[in-house]
Chains A and B, each alone.
Chain A
Amino acid sequence: MSRPSRLMFAVAAVGMLISAAAGAQEYPTKPITLIVPWPAGGSTDLTMRAIAESASKILGQPIAIDNKAGGGGTVGPATMAAAAKPDGYTIAQLPITVFRLPLMQEVSWDPSKDFSYIIHLTGYTFGVTTNTESQFKTWKDVVDFAKQNPGKVTYATPGAGTSLHIGMEQIATLAGIKLTQVPFKGGAETNAAVLGQHTMLQADSTGWRPLVDAGKLRLLMVWTSARSPNFPDVPTLKELGYPMVYDSPFGIAGPKGMDPKIVAKLHDAFKKAIEDPAVIATLAKYDMVPNYKNTEDYKKFVVEVTNSERKVIDSLGLAKK
């Protein structure tokens, strides 16, 4: 970049100050980009679209969804943390992998420093499905088969290091079996993988629901604390003898250094959005309920989650060497 003269620098600095001050008042003056780090069409993508749609009405500017999938949902936030300006026009959904992956390997971001946390929104219902034509009728069938054929049972996840991957490995350890993970980029892809019987199982959030309803997939278990009202016959992890609950709560954040006024504006808009009955109805389709936390509580929650994740990762031997 060219080196601006002192005068120009002064002019620029004054200009920026004015525009920054004006920016906080007028914000938003142009469309906002919301990075959803999952492929379009999965449960996260569809619910985030509904939430964004409602929030955009409150903000008075369109919110464009940008699907940057990969890396278990970390490619999008990592790109934002690295490249986006903290002007409130680029924000991202933060899945739990953003906190977990740094514990497992070298990454380009630091969750404690690189984000301006805005609001905590909701969590998932996870479940394990198999094709209706498969030999597995219950989770016990899977365990029995895997005991005789270690490593032969394959399961599709939306990415390495996702809650689905970690959860399945924990289950496998407890059950004394060995499973093989195949990382995909998100729900739309794992649905296709298990429908086409390319993998035996699918571990994913509720994007599989229409296919389970249509009888194409069989739901073997859910990872919530209580049974889902939509699938009253499907056992939870606890009932199957694994003392765990996984719901991978998520929220949204911007790049570090965002103006607190802009954060507050976004927080208010998204808070109203998850109170919108239309949004609650869309969330309910995917067995999700709003789980609101304000900016401060979200920050505290990130610290807690990082600590508890560290214990799990250590116990599975997946920690960064």
Chain B
Amino acid sequence: MSNNSNVKFRFNNSELWGGLIGLGLGLFVIRSGLKLKLGTINDPGSGYVLFYTGILMCLFAASIIIASLSEGGPTFGSRWENARWTKPLIVIASLTAFAFSLDTFGFLLSSIPLMVLLLRLIDPVRWSLAIPIAVIAPLGMWWILKRLLLIQLPSGIFEIG
């Protein structure tokens, strides 16, 4: 990240957006705190600490925004410069798919394909190595947990595992 990529008053200033998200969260927390009732100082209610934490969040977010406007900050582009942004995206997508299949298909039927995907997509491991690893690692862990530590991993609708 080079210094000349810093920009002022630009909408792709990543610092500005970070601060704005923080501000939004802070406002949300303040609102939730108010809804949960502040109580009195003799007997603070459920929303008491949330409300004041929300105010602090807004203050800190505001200072980040002000700094981003006065000093500028790196653009989104520069943050991802020289980065293969598709790779994290692929991993995130595989993990999301895994999350949705875990409950339905169970641990073994979901994690073996996940391992194959990860082994082949990040930086392809040759098939003759990828397949054994993808099968043996989940199977091995499943066995250890089930037999030695008595922990049952989700088995899914087919009751496999």
Contacts and interface: CB of A to CB of B under 8 A. Distances in A.
Interface string B55-73: 0000000000000000000
A2 B100 contact: yes
B150 A12 contact: no
Contacts of B94: none
A11 B157 CA distance: 9
A21 interface: no
B152 A30 contact: yes
Interface in B141-161: 150, 152, 157-159
A31 B159 CA distance: 17
A4 B104 contact: yes
Given A1-B100, A2-B100, A15 B152 contact: no
A226 interface: no
A15 B158 contact: yes
A186 to B, nearest CB: 20
B94 to A, nearest CB: 16
Nearest to B150: A31
Contacts of B104: 1-2, 4
Interface in A211-250: none
A19 interface: yes
Given A30-B152, A62-B150, A19 B159 contact: yes
Interface in A159-183: none
A16 interface: yes
Nearest to A61: B150
A129 to B, nearest CB: 24
Interface string A1-14: 11010000001100
A1 B152 CA distance: 22
Interface size class of A (residues with CB under 8 A): 10 to 19
A29 B84 CA distance: 47
A4 B105 CA distance: 11
B106 to A, nearest CB: 11
Interface of B is mostly: loop
B35 to A, nearest CB: 13
Interface in A24-77: 30-31, 62
B157 A12 contact: yes
A74 to B, nearest CB: 14
A316 B85 CA distance: 63
A1 B100 CA distance: 6
Interface string B87-114: 0000000000000100110000000000
Nearest to A16: B157
Contact of A15 (B100, B103, B150, B159): B159
A16 B155 CA distance: 12
A11 B152 CA distance: 23
Nearest to A64: B150
Contacts of B103: 1
Interface string B17-31: 000000000000000
B100 A30 contact: no
Contacts of A1: 100, 103-104
Nearest to B155: A19
A62 B149 CA distance: 12
Nearest to A19: B159
Interface in B25-64: none
A12 B159 CA distance: 10
A133 B96 CA distance: 60
- Which of B103, B157, B158, B159 has most chain A Cβ within 10 Å? B157
Given A30-B150, A30-B152, A31-B150, 14 more contacts: A1-B100, A1-B103, A1-B104, A2-B100, A2-B104, A4-B104, A11-B157, A12-B157, A15-B157, A15-B158, A15-B159, A16-B157, A19-B159, A62-B150
17 contacts: A1-B100, A1-B103, A1-B104, A2-B100, A2-B104, A4-B104, A11-B157, A12-B157, A15-B157, A15-B158, A15-B159, A16-B157, A19-B159, A30-B150, A30-B152, A31-B150, A62-B150
Interface of B: 100, 103-104, 150, 152, 157-159
Across the A-B interface, give the 3 residue pairs with the lowest CB-CB distance, nearest first: A12-B157, A30-B152, A15-B157
